[in-house]
Amino acid sequence: MHSLFTLTLNLERAGKVICVQSLPFDPARATLLLLSPVGTQCFYMKNAALFLISRFNLIILESDALLAYAAAADLAPDEGVADFIRQFHAALPKAVQVDALVGYCSSAPLALLAASLGACRTLLLLNGAYFLKNDEVSKSQYERDVERMMQSIPQGNCAQVYEAVSLLHANSAYTPSDYRYQQVRPLRELPAFRQYLTFLNSLASLEVARTAQAVQAPTLVWCGSQDRYTDTASSRYIAKWLPHSELVEDPDGQHHDFVDGHTQLYQAMTRFLTHHQQRAVQ
């Protein structure tokens, strides 16, 4: 029986990083590194993790850890992520190698960047929120609203914007023990809100097309037609630039399928990962 446990790693320059891992480790299984969305903690991935650990070794890493390191070291996102990933791999137990990287929602562009730097053998991008600067790509109302909030950082009116949107947190019925509470976690206090928007701006600064073209790993790009948060146009745009991509648009898919326990998505992930793991062995 596999279960989830805390994993504490001491990185050479980034220092202590707390993750979640599945145990016991099975060397015959592929190992997935799952990046939680920006502003959320590992607990947000609980439902997905409980399914995935029945088939794969799993490590969950908070995206904020990578982005905070890059910001503190005053590095560009690509330099900061590359350095963090090198330290992360070096700190893992010798028997553990990351086979696949999983990015969901706002962690998808971070996973894309890490994959372009050779961080994994296989990449999965699920309901990605890329905040593309290309005006020709259609966006959801949610994406446009978040982009307006992101502009408050360079405009210097973050505190005023926070006063307005923090009501969403105040009116939330989710308790801290509910994984869905993570969806409004960045709205709890102004410093967290400012950090959330700063990290999103950092990811939005990526040259997405060039980054995608540099990814050599086979990539599953999954999106749902009923997603009210991220428009499927963004996923189609990303898939167009990836050299080795499989685009799946689920006509019934919604944004939170990955964290809500959507069996069809998990089965597609398993099929894709198993197929490419077998090809790697051959």
Mean local confidence (pLDDT), 201-213:
93
Overall average pLDDT of the 155-172 stretch: 86
Give residue 280's pLDDT.
54
All domains of the chain in start order, with CATH: 3-131+207-281 (3.40.50.1820)
Q: Inform me whether the pLDDT recorded for 100 exceeds 50.
A: yes
Residue 188 pLDDT: 82
Q: Answer yes or no: 105 catalytic.
A: yes
pLDDT at 279 over 90: no
Q: What single DSSP character describes residue 243?
A: T
What is the average pLDDT across 77-93?
92
| Measured CA distances, 120 to 30, 48, 114 (Å) | 11, 20, 8
Rounded Cα distance between 176 and 104, Å, is: 21
pLDDT of residue 282: 44
For the chain, what is the mean pLDDT? 90
From 105, 120, 158, 223, active-site residue: 105
Q: Are 230 and 128 in contact (CB under 8 A)?
A: yes
